Amino acid sequence: MVEHVYRQTTSAALVSAVLVATDDLRVAEAVDAFGGTAVMTDPDHATGTDRLAEVAAFLEGDLVVNVQGDEPLITGQAIDAAVEPCLRRPDELISTLRKKIEDPTDLDTPSVVKVVVDRDGYAFYFSRSPIPFVRPGEDRPVSWRHLGLYVYRRPFLLMVAGLAQTPIERAEGLEQLRILEHGIRILTVETTVETIGVDTPEDLARVQRLVRG
């Protein structure tokens, strides 16, 4: 899976280099075996953001893209869509991806993270619960799922990693809530790319069905 995500990431036109940050020697050896570049990190990081920041501290680029290794269906096109607004608008500190929820069962699946956005595409809130609540008799607005990809301005990433974890972040187990709890906006970009974060055996089975057609 790591090799597949790596190769999908290298297909992005707006990404100049791809590194795999890991604290697991087995992962690093697997990456080396297929010709990728792995960077060993501190095993005591609380979140992936902290791990990414350790590597980013030694990079020189302005933007750092975090593609999570459990997103085997991510595409270069989707990565470029998230990067593009940060290249075009230097005031954007962070961007991510969202996709319309087509399967109603996803709303009640905790491993599918939901996001509610404003009219400009900035996130109000992320949750593992179905959001927003819809009163009886009211039409449900478009429901969005969050895709596990972030584009950070490098100085901003280093700042976020230095912040303490926040209560709602801990409650939901979603590190992006740390950013919202500190009053910082997260831009979300709509994509039609079908991705599934592999967090459970059921998720893996869904990915395998999609790949096999």
Cα–Cα distance between 173 and 188 in angstroms, integer?
19
Residue 205 predicted with pLDDT over 90: no
Contact 143, 36 (CB under 8 A): no
Find residue 117's DSSP bridge partners.
123
pLDDT band, very low/low/confident/very high, at 201 (cuts 50, 70, 90): low
What would the pLDDT profile of 91-110 be if each residue is shown by its tens digit?
Answer: 999 999 999 999 999 999 99
pTM higher than 0.85: yes
Q: Which CATH code is given to the segment(s) 2-96+149-212?
A: 3.90.550.10
